């Protein structure tokens, strides 16, 4: 190294001498003309020789010793594996046959219905409010409708009037039948007299036509009486309808449940079929709607059990059963709407709650799993550094499945039992030999979210 420094100092002094000569020539060149202002050929040749000499010295002094040192280090590395890059490795494993799938869900009442007014009038009295539990048939409100009472009286009067018309029609029928009998007897006598030659044929024809007219009159009277009887039936049906509407003045709960909405109070005007009085929900059993991802749509079947948990109720699990699915994926989210029913005997759950639904999924073909810190993302796709049996590195492209956080599903590109470099550094290159050390094993993911 002392020789190298001395050579560099000598070259530096020679370059400085050349610079001084050039400056002196420039001073002289101001009075000698254009030719003296340019450096001489000898000066240029000397500069070129000095540059070549400097490059040659740098090559022999710097590059060759470095190559010798690297060769020595490579030989020492081959002799002892202690200088190889130490790499933690983890094996490619398979997921469990049974795993947990946890998805968010919305709790709703199994049966929920609005209670509307069926009679127009005013609320006479209200008996329940929101949060009250009611039984089927229990009175929740009463409606006062005086106009309805008047309509009922009018309908009864119409029935009496129509029944009187029916009686008149029956009397007319009896009279028509009597006239028919008389015409029949007269027609018979006229026919006998015509045969004896006592009367003319004209008189007989008149008697026969009178008999036919009386027959037709009786038929007309019978049809009129039938129409009157139909009017009686219609009037009685109208009265029954009004009486049924009157029963709606007493508003009753359609089933056991809880009042979730009260929309009126005493004295409020309500209209038939349009005014919402209450909303009632059945909370003894609740349904939870879950959107299953397409990848798990075939894993959940009707009748399968599930556990429901609420963040506000820590430590409690509610057993549920899958009762139905939509049997069609939502084209927007690619999810399958699934219903899970759960019993709610102690009323701990309420409609509208947000829940976590835990399914136990059975996989026919468990997928491969790799630690998340073995993944290498490059421009040509996701890869992993596989440590071969001879401790050399080979980067392999893989196809990823679902991401479980600390673990990743691999659909293709790897085999079970292969060793992968964990958090590969810059020293882990294609074909490089490393010192593989087993990394601490992690527990396979117990839950999928």
| Segment 53-103, tens digit of pLDDT | 777 666 665 666 666 766 665 555 555 444 677 888 888 888 776 777 889
Average pLDDT over residues 239-254: 89
**Residues 271-310: tens digit of each pLDDT:** 988 899 999 998 888 999 999 988 788 888 899 999 999 9
Helix or strand (DSSP H, E) at 72: helix 64-79
Q: Is the C-alpha dihedral spanning 344, 349, 353, 357 positive or negative? A: negative
User: What is the reported pLDDT for 108?
Assistant: 92
3-class SS of residue 37:
coil
More confident residue, 67 or 201: 201
398 and 383 Cβ atoms separated by less than 8 Å: yes
* Whether this model's pTM surpasses 0.75: no
| Overall CATH class of domain 281-362 | mainly beta
For domain 146-248, which CATH number applies: 1.20.120, 1.20.58, 3.40.30, 2.60.40?
Answer: 1.20.58
Q: What is the mean pLDDT of the chain?
A: 82
d(CA 95, CA 407): 10
- Of 15-29, 64-78, 138-152, 425-439, the poorest mean pLDDT is in 64-78
Q: How confident is the model at residue 225 (pLDDT cuts 50, 70, 90)?
A: confident
**Residues 328-367: tens digit of each pLDDT:** 999 999 999 999 999 988 888 989 999 999 988 776 677 7
pLDDT surpasses 90 at 203: no
User: What is the reported pLDDT for 61?
Assistant: 59
252 and 168 Cβ atoms separated by less than 8 Å: no
- 85-95+366-448 belongs to CATH 1.10.3720.10: no
pLDDT surpasses 60 at 34: no
Determine if residue 15 is left, alpha or beta; phi over 0 gives left, psi from -120 to 50 gives alpha, anything else beta.
alpha
pLDDT surpasses 90 at 191: no
Determine if residue 273 is left, alpha or beta; phi over 0 gives left, psi from -120 to 50 gives alpha, anything else beta.
left
């Amino acid at each position: 190294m002392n020789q190298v420094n001395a050579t560099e100092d000598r070259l530096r002094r020679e370059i400085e001498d050349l610079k001084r000569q050039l400056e002196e020539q420039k001073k002289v060149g101001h009075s000698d003309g254009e030719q003296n202002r340019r450096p001489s050929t000898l000066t240029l040749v000397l500069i070129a020789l000095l540059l070549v000499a400097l490059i040659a010295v740098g090559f022999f002094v710097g590059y060759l010793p470095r190559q010798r040192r690297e060769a020595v280090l490579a030989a020492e590395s081959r002799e002892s594996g202690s200088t190889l890059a130490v790499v933690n490795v983890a094996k490619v494993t398979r997921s469990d046959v049974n795993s947990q799938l946890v998805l968010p869900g919305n709790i709703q009442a199994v049966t929920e219905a609005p209670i509307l007014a069926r009679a127009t009038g005013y609320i006479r009295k209200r008996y329940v409010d929101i949060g009250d539990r009611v039984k089927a048939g229990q009175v929740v409100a009463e409606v006062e409708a005086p106009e309805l009472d008047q309509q009922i009286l009018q309908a009864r009067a119409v029935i009496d009037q129509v029944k009187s018309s029916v009686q008149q029609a029956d009397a007319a029928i009896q009279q028509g039948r009597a006239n028919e009998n008389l015409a029949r007897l007269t027609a018979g006598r006229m026919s006998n007299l015509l045969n004896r030659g006592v009367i003319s044929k004209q008189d007989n024809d008149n008697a026969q036509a009178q008999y036919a007219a009386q027959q037709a009159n009786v038929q007309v009277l019978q049809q009129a009486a039938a129409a009157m009887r139909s009017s009686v039936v219609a009037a009685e049906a109208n009265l029954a309808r009004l009486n049924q509407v009157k029963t709606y003045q007493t508003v009753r709960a359609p089933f056991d449940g809880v009042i979730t909405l009260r929309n009126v109070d005493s004295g409020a005007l309500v209209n038939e079929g349009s005014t919402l009085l209450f909303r009632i929900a059945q909370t003894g059993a609740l349904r939870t709607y879950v959107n299953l991802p397409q990848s798990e749509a075939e894993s959940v079947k009707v009748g399968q059990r599930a556990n429901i948990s609420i963040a506000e109720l820590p430590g409690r699990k509610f057993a549920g059963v899958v009762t139905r699915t939509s049997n069609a994926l939502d084209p927007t989210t690619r999810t399958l709407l699934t219903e899970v029913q759960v019993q709610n005997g102690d009323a701990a759950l309420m409609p509208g709650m947000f829940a976590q639904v835990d399914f136990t999924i059975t996989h026919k073909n468990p997928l491969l799993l790799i630690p998340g810190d073995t993944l290498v993302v490059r421009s040509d796709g996701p890869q992993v550094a596989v440590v071969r049996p001879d401790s050399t590195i080979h980067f392999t492209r893989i196809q990823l499945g679902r991401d479980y956080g600390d673990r990743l599903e691999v659909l293709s590109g790897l085999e079970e039992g292969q060793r992968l470099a964990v958090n590969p550094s810059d020293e882990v290159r294609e074909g490089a030999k490393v010192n593989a050390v087993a990394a601490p094993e992690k527990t396979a993911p117990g839950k999928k979210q």
